Amino acid sequence: MSLQQIALVTCQSLGDYTTNADSEDERLYRFLAEKGHKISFQVWDDDQVDWTAFDALIIKSPWDYFDKINTFYTWLDKLEALGCRVLNPVKTLRWNADKVYFRDMQTQGVKIVPTVWLEQGGSFDADRVFEAIGQEKIIVKPRVSGAAKNTLAISREDAAGYTERINALLQDEPFLAQPFLEEIKTQGEWSFIFFNGRYSHAVLKKAKSGDFRVQHFFGGSVHTPVPPAGMLQTASKIVEQFAQDCLYARVDGVELNGELVLMELELIEPFLFLSTSDGALERYYQAFLDLTNQSAAKV
């Protein structure tokens, strides 16, 4: 089956997110167009878009969704009511938007970074959080977030100076706290990329000297070593359990004592590092064809 009208769903402005980055959206656009499809970029929160006009909606880069999360949820409900073919599936996008999904994964045996949940409207009790995590340095970030927004690295001795700021942030949304992992600074953070459940490629992201954020727009660098087999096996199992019928999935984690410990399961709008692996675009496209053919067969 050859679909003709495809929307690559993006946001109004990619802004600084594309700094020092390969233009992955444009690369994918050109590739799909060369396959004979009619491709157009569509802004997810543009009320003028007729989403029923498209044979498929590929959720590519709605990178501001976490700033407008209630609007995003409403939009997902609309797509579901309209019966649009969405990749990744709407139910998956809804589940993955809030990092409380860690709880689901942990109960099913996935090893995640230890997490303390900070509820909206509550207050930041530094002593309780540091005692629960058992480390002298922590990361505090929103439950719904991206691009390291409002992500704070806090040491125990400096915690009092952050309390007022965190309490103010908690009035607007829930947060979480996790240990600051030195391994991210010393070893880097792995990303394993899958298309329709099949492993495609992996990268190792490293922060610039003096920083802990591995994102490219903060000066992080990307490397392509061969991933340890055991970590890849763990990432594959995570995708098999939690990313069914997904065009793409990115498993982010860090190596601790030889094991992959999950940092994020990215199923909404991850950068996929398509330019780092020969054949990645073709594998992406074949996954798209497989999923859309399966969907058509069910109708």
CATH code (residue 149): 3.30.1490.20
pLDDT tens digits, 157-180: 999 999 999 999 999 999 999 998
Residues 106 and 211 in one domain: yes
Please identify, among 143, 163, 180, the residue that sits at the C-terminal boundary of a domain.
Answer: 180
Q: What are phi and psi of 128, to 5 degrees?
A: -65, -45
* Count of other CB atoms within 10 angstroms of residue 127: 9
Out of 136, 153, 180, a domain closes at 180
pLDDT at 214: 43
Q: How far apart are alpha carbons 222 and 266 in whole angstroms? A: 17
CB atoms within 10 A of CB 285: 17
Q: Are residues 191 and 44 in the same domain?
A: no
**Is 127 found in the same domain as 66?**
no
- Among residues 124, 149, 180, which one ends one of the domains? 180
pLDDT value at residue 146: 75
106 plus 209 within the same structural domain: yes
Q: One-letter amino acid identity for 81? A: A
Q: Do residue 234 and residue 267 come from a single domain?
A: yes
Quick one: what percent of the chain has pLDDT higher than 70? Answer: 89
Q: Within this chain, do residues 105 and 207 fall inside the same structural domain, yes or no?
A: yes
pLDDT tens digits, 216-257 = 444 467 888 899 999 999 999 999 999 999 999 999 999 988
Q: Are 166 and 173 in contact (CB under 8 A)?
A: no
Residue 215 vs residue 193, higher pLDDT: 193
261: CATH? 3.30.470.20
Domain count, the chain: 3
Beta strand 38-43 with 5-10 is parallel
Q: 84 and 204: one domain?
A: no
Task: Identify whether residues 192 and 144 lie together within a single domain.
Answer: no
Residue 63 to residues 40, 91, 141, Cα–Cα distance (Å): 17, 18, 17
**The pLDDT value given to residue 13:** 78
Separation between Cα atoms, residue 295 and residue 61, nearest integer Å: 23
Is residue 183's pLDDT more than 80? no
Pairing of strands 38-43, 116-118: unpaired
Q: Within this chain, do residues 173 and 284 fall inside the same structural domain, yes or no? A: no
Task: Provide the edge-to-edge strand list for the sheet that holds 86-87.
Answer: 38-43, 5-10, 56-61, 86-87
Domain co-membership, 105 together with 224: yes
Give the integer Cα–Cα distance in Å for 166 and 148: 15
Tokens 């495609």 identify what position? Answer: 200
Distance CA 91, CA 40 (A): 24
Question: Which domain covers residue 199, as residue numbers?
Answer: 101-111+183-276
Q: Are residues 245 and 142 in the same domain?
A: no
b or e along 15-46 (b: 16 or more beta carbons within 10 Å of the residue's beta carbon)? eebbeebeebbeebbebbeebebebeebbbee
Q: pTM higher than 0.75 for the full model?
A: yes
Contact of 235 with 249, CB cutoff 8 Å: no
What CATH number should be reported for the domain holding residue 18? 3.40.50.20
Residues 148 and 201 reside in one and the same domain: no
Q: Which residues contact 34 (CB under 8 A, 6 or more apart)?
A: none
